[in-house]
Structure 1
Amino acid sequence: MSMIITRHVLFIQGGGGREDYTADAKLVASLQAGLGDAFVVHYPLLADEPEPDFGRQKQIGQQVSLIKDEIILVGHSLGASMLLKYLSESQPPQRVIGAFLLATPFWSGDEDWKQGLKLHDDFASKLPKHVPIFLYHAQDDEEVSFNNLALYAQHLPQATLHSIPKGGHQFDNDLWVVARDILSL
């Protein structure tokens, strides 16, 4: 008798609040369908805390610590940028085996509210070497400019980049290409 091993995916929502959480639930459902029963996609609702990064790094760390097996990280929009911040500014456990980032904003500017979201200039050198990074961006994204993918390409030459012809910010709620890449790990 063979034992089925369950693999774990932690999906971090874009934006904040219940409306964005509900919108991204369709992405989560698509990803779960593409991955099948051997995977469990964890999708916690993260609350906005009164911290410069909305408390996301701490919350991501807490969610990662709850999963004791290997873990794959997936984030959308703000959630994707916060996963990069978490990976580059903390010491993620060895059991993190991949990061899949969708419509990731590259925060810049001097506005006070952006300071806690911005990556350090040397973020790329601080990323764990054992974690492959995959970035996905739709060319017709109406919320996070497609140009952000090119910015990440400059900083992360080791990353696998996917330019998606159409799908908007929500990828038409179809994450088959992400599921395919996760299954290839």
Structure 2
Amino acid sequence: MEKHILFIQGGGDDGYKEDEKLVTSLRTLLEASYQVQYPRMPSDESLPDFGWLHKIENEITAIKGQTILVGHSLGGSMLLKYLSEKDTQQEIAGIFLIATPFWSGDEDWIKGLKLPAGFSDKLPKNTPVFLYHCRDDQEVPFEHLARYAQHLPNAIIRELASGGHQLNNDLSIVANDIRSL
């Protein structure tokens, strides 16, 4: 049976192009038994979430069968936001979050990205969550991993010594965890 992975890119002007390397790594490592979908996310600055939640909903709804969610950076935080704010009928087999920012502050632009209070209680029950973060990440401070660990005490935490924000474009550790499901 083919397994479906939805990979949500990181933000920024070059987020989609940069994360293509991560997706290529994942596709190569997991081979043909996994179907990796990689949609380009919108950048509608008139919306507080840039239009990402609606796009994520459409992508998840279109998948037939069990889904594995992978998000990099902003994509990881937006997957959590979607799952904690929307009721999905889709069976989620696992959630894999790479270098995910934990948004805080009162700036207007952050309000549409912040997770709701008690977000962890609203995630799909009995679905494993994996968190990956490199100590030398220059984009998202390593301390954000600890904040997620506090809110997601059952998450599997992968602290990596090096690899930067893009994990050296090598998702071997993520692929191994996906195979473990």
Q: TM bucket by the smaller chain?
A: over 0.9
Tell me the residue number matched to 2:93. 97
What is the CA–CA distance in structure 1 between the aligned matches of 2:142 and 2:170, rounded to whole Å?
18
Q: Which range moves more in the overlay, 41-50 or 138-147?
A: 41-50
Indicate yes or no: 2:9 matched with 1:13.
yes
User: SS at the partner of 1:36?
Assistant: helix
What is the CA–CA distance in structure 2 between the aligned matches of 1:55 and 1:131, rounded to whole Å?
25
Match for residue 31 of structure 1 among 23, 26, 31: 26
Report how far residue 94 of structure 1 moved: 4.0
Mark the runs of 5 or more structure 2 residues left unpaired by the alignment.
none
Tell me the residue number matched to 1:163. 159
User: SS at the partner of 1:88?
Assistant: helix
Kept in 1, the 8 Å contact 2:9–2:71? The answer is: yes
Taking structure 2 as the reference length, what is the TM-score of the superposition?
0.97
User: SS at the partner of 1:101?
Assistant: strand
Kept in 1, the 8 Å contact 2:83–2:123? The answer is: yes
Taking structure 1 as the reference length, what is the TM-score of the superposition?
0.95
Match for residue 85 of structure 1 among 81, 93, 102: 81
Deviations 1:114-160 (A, max 9, x none): 00000012111111113211110011000000000000011100111
The alignment-based identity, stated in percent, is 55
What is the CA–CA distance in structure 1 between the aligned matches of 2:145 and 2:29, rounded to whole Å?
24
Name the Cα RMSD after superposition: 0.9
What is the CA–CA distance in structure 1 between the aligned matches of 2:170 and 2:98, rounded to whole Å?
12
Mark the runs of 5 or more structure 1 residues left unpaired by the alignment.
none
Deviations 1:53-83 (A, max 9, x none): 1111111010011111211000000000000
Aligned residues: 180
